Amino acid sequence: MILHKKHKIGFTQIDNKLLNDARLTWKAKGVLCYLLSKPEGWQVNVWDIIKHGADGEAALRAAMRELREHHYAQLQNMRADGRIVQRCLTIDEHGKLPTDDLLGSDIENLNQENLNEENREAYQYGDYSKTEKKSSSAVTAKVGWSPAQGWSSIDDDLRSELRQAYPACDVERQLRQMTMWLKANPARAKKSNYLRFINNWLKKEQDRGGDQRGKHSTPATPINVRNKRINKLNEQKAYWMRQPESARRSRELEQIRVELQTL
């Protein structure tokens, strides 16, 4: 027995043809339905999708490849001045998108931690070519750390990139703090990718508002903090809009509405 409830708000209309497409696994259908529940123009972020399910990265990678193979999804490189500046993922509920030319040549790797901030948005979907992956690996292999020598192969260019990527952070101070943490935690000090460790550390510090306090510092601006809070509230609003009607749902939505009005 199937129980249906009529919804006035917070629901998604899905074409039954895609749900009955026997070529797709239920995993792929679930990911597709989740993406179709988002508003038009919504920017696909793999970590957001992973966060809303229990399957993990490998399962999502397989589902996305399946959708691309059957023309429900298409990944395109957007170039400017000869380099990839953005990757655009298009979703079509009718499965009539053109053949995805990147399927044959690209390696699907959803890990963005190796990428600097300048390129992170371009690889938001996280699927990049063999040549680009090889180049990225070559860069990350140079960075090292040891208790006696500290950091190695962090040159001026990399320092400059880190400052640009995390403007609210004092990179030199944070590197010293990382060194103290690594020395205090010898069992966890051995890393396969120290640049990834540095990026993760600085990203967390940046998200907390940074540590810049000097006269030449560039702290996170109030408008950035405000925008971040607005984005968070909109995510919460979208979540509660998908929930069944209840007293708590109404209360949460009202609190979000009031806070958004004050920002």
* Structural domain contains residue 41: yes
Q: What is the band of 24 on the pLDDT scale with cuts at 50, 70, 90?
A: very high
Residue 36 in contact with residue 16, Cβ under 8 Å? Answer: no
Q: Which two tokens stand for residue 92?
A: 């079509």
From 101, 38, 89, 41, select the one nearest 63 (Cα to Cα). 89
Q: What is the mean pLDDT of residues 84-89?
A: 72
Q: Can you give the pLDDT at residue 30?
A: 92
Burial of 188 (0-12, 13-18, 19+ CB in 10 A): exposed
Answer yes or no: are the C-beta atoms of 210 and 169 closer than 8 Å: yes
Where a domain ends, among 83, 118, 139?
A: 139
Q: Which residues neighbour 182 within 8 Å (Cβ) at sequence distance 6 or greater?
A: 145, 147, 188, 189
Q: Are residues 86 and 125 in the same domain?
A: yes
Both 150 and 132 in one domain: the answer is no
Domain range spanning residue 172?
141-207
**Count of domains in the chain?**
3
- Which of 207, 240, 255 corresponds to the end of one domain? 207
Tell whether 5 and 90 lie within a shared domain.
yes
Has residue 189 been placed in a domain? Answer: yes
Label residue 48 by pLDDT band (50, 70, 90).
confident
Lowest mean pLDDT among 3-17, 50-64, 203-217: 203-217
Mean pLDDT of 183-212: 86
Q: Are 197 and 163 in contact (CB under 8 A)?
A: no
Residues 56 and 160 in one domain: no
Q: What percent of the chain has pLDDT over 70?
A: 76
Range of lowest pLDDT (74-83, 99-108, 173-182, 238-247): 99-108
Residue at a domain's end among 183, 207, 231: 207
Is residue 61 domain-shared with residue 113, that is, in the same domain?
A: yes
Q: Sorting pLDDT into bands at 50, 70 and 90, what band is 125?
A: very low
| Whether 162 and 262 share a structural domain | no
Region 127-150 average pLDDT: 54
CB 99 within 8 A of CB 72: no
Q: Are residue 126 and residue 145 in the same domain, yes or no?
A: no
111 pLDDT above the threshold of 70: no
**Average pLDDT of the segment spanning 203-223:** 65
Give percent above pLDDT 90 in the chain: 13
For residues 61 and 121, membership in a common domain is answered with: yes
CA angle 232, 234, 240 (to 5 degrees): 105
φ and ψ at residue 106, rounded to 5 degrees: -95, 150
Q: Tell me the pLDDT band of 101, cut-offs 50, 70 and 90.
A: low
Tell me, yes or no, whether 213 lies in a domain: no
Find how far residue 118's CA is from the centre of its chain: 14
For the entire predicted model, the pTM comes to 0.41
Same domain, 77 and 38: yes
Shared-domain flag, residues 90 and 50? yes
Asked whether residue 58 is domain-assigned, the answer is: yes
Average pLDDT of the chain to the nearest whole number: 76
In this predicted structure, the answer to whether residue 92 has a pLDDT above a threshold of 70 is yes
Residue 77's pLDDT is what? 76
Same domain, yes or no: 87 and 104: yes
Angle between helix 247-262 and 222-241 (nearest 10): 160
Count of residues making up the chain: 263
**260 CB-near residues (< 8 Å, 6+ apart):** 230, 233, 234, 237
More confident residue, 3 or 154: 154
For residues 203 and 210, give the distance between their C-alpha atoms in angstroms, rounded to a whole number: 9
**One domain for residues 145 and 167:** yes
Give domain status of residue 215, yes or no.
Answer: no
